[in-house]
Amino acid sequence: MYDIYINTHLLKLADCPPEDRAVWSIVLPWRGRIKDLHALLDTLEKRQDALDAWLFANPIEPLWDAFRHLFDYVPAAGGIVNRGDGRMMFILRKGHLDLPKGKLDPGESFETAARREVLEETGLTGIRTGHLMAVTWHAYRERKKRFLKETRWFAMDQPEGPGRPQAEEGITELLWMTWEEYYQSDLPRYRNLDAMLAHMPGR
């Protein structure tokens, strides 16, 4: 099963239909036609209202392979930095609460990229990288091309220093927040991060 976020919409690829169809705007079986994938993507990219879609096929592997080949692949990595007192590092990027992350450089591993991005975007040093915590997928269109970004998120701890936001990346503030403070914040948030963080240990 794969969760792909397209703008604010969730597209779930699965091997069976959902138990509760009523909570999904679109529920469709995939019949193996590529044009149906294009049509669904066009709908999700253009619609501004709340719209989530569930597409299923059994087995799921041919669906996932066909879907991935509609995009240029973008590998990215980020860090979930824990200070040790129940607070995590969030950044305020272009007015939205976010986590430090970025694309891999050529030849770079996901783990190395995650450490580099956290250092560049927050200025925190001494960070120890732990295990892989989550993988998210984000599909977007740019210059008439479609991209599928896979972001691998790593646990991190033992940060040192006050840090500094990377202004050239649109980051204006570093915020140490508990789970409750994050979810109760009035600042704009990203839906895919909400979903990912909701499944973190200790949440």
The secondary structure of residue 21, as a DSSP letter, is G
Give the model confidence (pLDDT) of 104-146 as tens digits.
999 999 999 999 999 999 999 889 999 999 999 999 999 889 9
Give the model confidence (pLDDT) of 42-72 as tens digits.
999 998 888 999 999 999 999 999 999 999 9
Give the model confidence (pLDDT) of 151-173 as tens digits.
999 999 988 888 999 999 999 99
pLDDT at 203: 58
pTM, 2 dp: 0.93
CB 105 within 8 A of CB 113: yes
Where does 73-197 sit in CATH, by number?
A: 3.90.79.10
Query: Which residues in 56-94 are b (16+ Cβ under 10 Å) and which e?
Result: bbeebeebeebbeeebeebebbbbbbbeeeebbbbbbbe
Residue 202 pLDDT class (50, 70, 90 cuts): low
Q: Please provide the DSSP assignment of 130-193 as one string.
A: EEEEEEEEEEEEETTEEEEEEEEEEEEE--BS-----GGGTEEEEEEE-HHHHHH--S---HHH
- Residue ranges, comma separated, of all CATH 3.90.79.10 domains in the chain are 73-197
Q: What is the mean pLDDT of residues 81-85?
A: 90
